[in-house]
Every structure is written in structure tokens, then in C-alpha cells.
Structure 1
């Protein structure tokens, strides 16, 4: 992955010592330094679309009797994906903010979507350190969209309503949204005056990402499709389409 962010720089000699760690010491350390918490993007998956720049922060909290001096945080994932950025520390917590421009940093490949990991090196003030690969995992995903249309509107009670929708996701090959095929989506209904949706049935999208099914009209309410998401694609739910039943 090509990066626009600055290569990691840390306090003191961290950058040099981190590069010098042999492969056999991928996880390890010296002294009583320990990583106690790793947070990625506030606990949410990292979702990237086709044009908007995405920024997310990784925070690593560590402990040592002498205090924390500095850190080096990077992330890596499938397709040889790798992101590195400047790491800064405040007290026991060190953070790095990563910037992803899909048209610059994702060189025409969807292979980067999936499970990513955080690698962290933390230095203490007394020379102790800890180095951990895969300190935490997170999902790096292709943005998704779900639409819905219920018709006819209005409709007579007992007549058939046809509910169509399109499930799509960002394609980093051409930076457009393409249909997400052969995926299960839930058709849900919310009665007028209610705040709760109930699943009516589950249907599969076709080879273009389209979903289509029919139901009988009974009462006024809202119809929508809801997609639960996959490891590479986040959940997506359409805004309910209101149908007036006469």
C-alpha cells in the first residue's frame, strides 16, 4: 500500500531499535513494560469508500514503573497492506493517526479488505521496552449501501406489495459502487406508530446485487432491507419506505 503519511518517528532511539529487532523476537521485551490496552478507531471498524479520505486513530496504553518514553505503532493486513504514521505519547497512552485516501493509498485492489492487526513497540524511561505483533485485530472494510423501494403506493389491503432493493459496496478497482452478489438481506417491517422493525423474511441478492420479494399488504407502515455485513463489508440498512394501505 502506498502511503502519504509520515514514516513512524518516536522519542529517543526507538525508531532505530525497532528496525533492529530480529524476526525471532517478533513478540517480546525487556523489563516490566507491558501493553494494557489497544483501541482502534474508537472501537469501530475502519470503513473506506470510493473517494472520501478516511482518518482513524490507534491508541496504545502501556505501563512501566518508570513511565512511558515513546512508541511506534503500525498496522498491517491482507494484500501486503501496511500503514505507518507518527506516534505521539501523553502519559501512559501513545497514539498514531492514519490517513487513507482510497484513490491514492489503495492502488486499484480490493485485496486490502479484511482483518488487520496492530503492531506496537513501547519504550519506557528506564530503557525497558515491549514489542507486540498483532496486539489487536480490527476490520478494514469496503463501504456498503442498501436501498429499498416498496410499491405500489398506496395499495389496497390484501393486495401484493413488491419490495426491491440494491446492495452495493465500494470497489477499489474502479472507485465505483458495485452490486454485492449472493448475500442474505432481511426484509423488515415497522407498523405506523411503532418504533420497532420486525424481520418478515430473508432473501438473497442476485448476480447484480438486487433483492426482490413480495408480501401481502395489511397495515400502513415502513419496509426496508437490512444487511448484517461480512468481514470485508460493513452492515447496511435502508431507510424505511412508507406504504399507505387503503
Structure 2
């Protein structure tokens, strides 16, 4: 486990983008696992800047973690739209090499199976993660048992409240999502988890320093052989750096 603490989100985003560049340059056909949410926007901004400086993304494949159920891909708050807005419309990744779950299909079980086949076909070299205030990664919410494969999840009230800032009203927030399972996340060659702000400090400390528990899904990352936590000073506030692994 590696922990890196930065003065601000821009510096953290640049560091995460440099890790992605290393993964991209280190493989003939690199696969990036991607996340959404405000935390990863600095990462995408810096990755776009690297492309503007000459980094070629035409040979990479991307696999997103999750998508809301009930929002069509063109909905402004769908994760399809988020990714297009912050990355895909600004770089040269062919559309045929971009994969995001479709939460608008009638057969969700078939969609989950389709997505697991994609993950098997394209092993992930670098997985980017955020962390929810309740410790979720992807939309793997705290539970008695974490599901290993792509699945439909009922979003917790805490997650719905947190995500309501992106909608006009909390009643508009979808209550279900499709998410990649924890097995696929842990099978990534390298994992980069990003977290910013004092409101994430308590859960970050639990994820890094606490016991590995299913009610804190991010704590399972302690079992991974190559995970990097990219934090700002606020999110690292409750860590004791003397205990760094």
C-alpha cells in the first residue's frame, strides 16, 4: 500500500494522471478502469492535458465501474454523459473501445452478464476509484456480503443524499444502479483510490487503518498487492502517517 498526500486536488489529479500515463505506456493494449464523480474530475482534466501534450489514447480500452438504472445514456446526469463531458469528447479513444454499463435496458440480468464478459475479455491494468462517505467503491454498498460480479444494487439512503447535489431534487436521484463487483476491482493490476475533503477523512482512515469489513467495502483494498491512495490534506486528516505501510 502506498499513500500520497497532496496540498490540493489539482496536484493529486496530476499525480494520478501520471500513473495512468505510465500504465498506458507500459502495455501494448492497456485497459483503464474508470470512475465518475467530482473527485475524479481533476484526474480527467490532467489526463486530457497529457493528451494535448502528445499522449496517444487511441490504443486503450476503458471500462467504467457503474451506471444508474433508469437514466438513458443521453441524460445529463448519467455516467455516460459524465464520461463524454469530462473525457471522451476531448480525447482520441475510439468509441468501440469504451465500455459503460447500460442502466436503461429492460433485461438488467443480461446486461450484468454481458459486462462480466467484457471484464473477462479485457483485464484491467489500472483501476481508478473514488470512495463514498459510507465507504462504497463503485456502487458496492456496505452489506453483510459483497457481491463479486457485476450486479444490480439498491443504493443506500446515504449515497442517494450525497448524490442529490447533482440533481434538482433528491426525489430525482435514481435508487438503483449497475455496478462492477469487488472481484473485478481486486483483479486490476494496480488500483488508485482518490479522496478529497475532510468529510471523507473518517471513512478513509477506516478503509486504510481499520479492519477489513464488508460494511466498509473500501477496506477490502488492503488485500490488494498494488494500491495507491491519492489524498489531499483534508481527507488524510485522521491518518497516522507513522503507521504507513
Structure with max Cα Rg: 1
Between Structure 1 and Structure 2, which shows a larger proportion of helix residues? Answer: 2
TM-score, reference length from structure 1:
0.25
Between Structure 1 and Structure 2, which shows a larger proportion of strand residues? Answer: 1
TM-score, reference length from structure 2:
0.25
Structure possessing the higher relative contact order (Cα contacts under 8 Å, 6 or more residues apart): 2
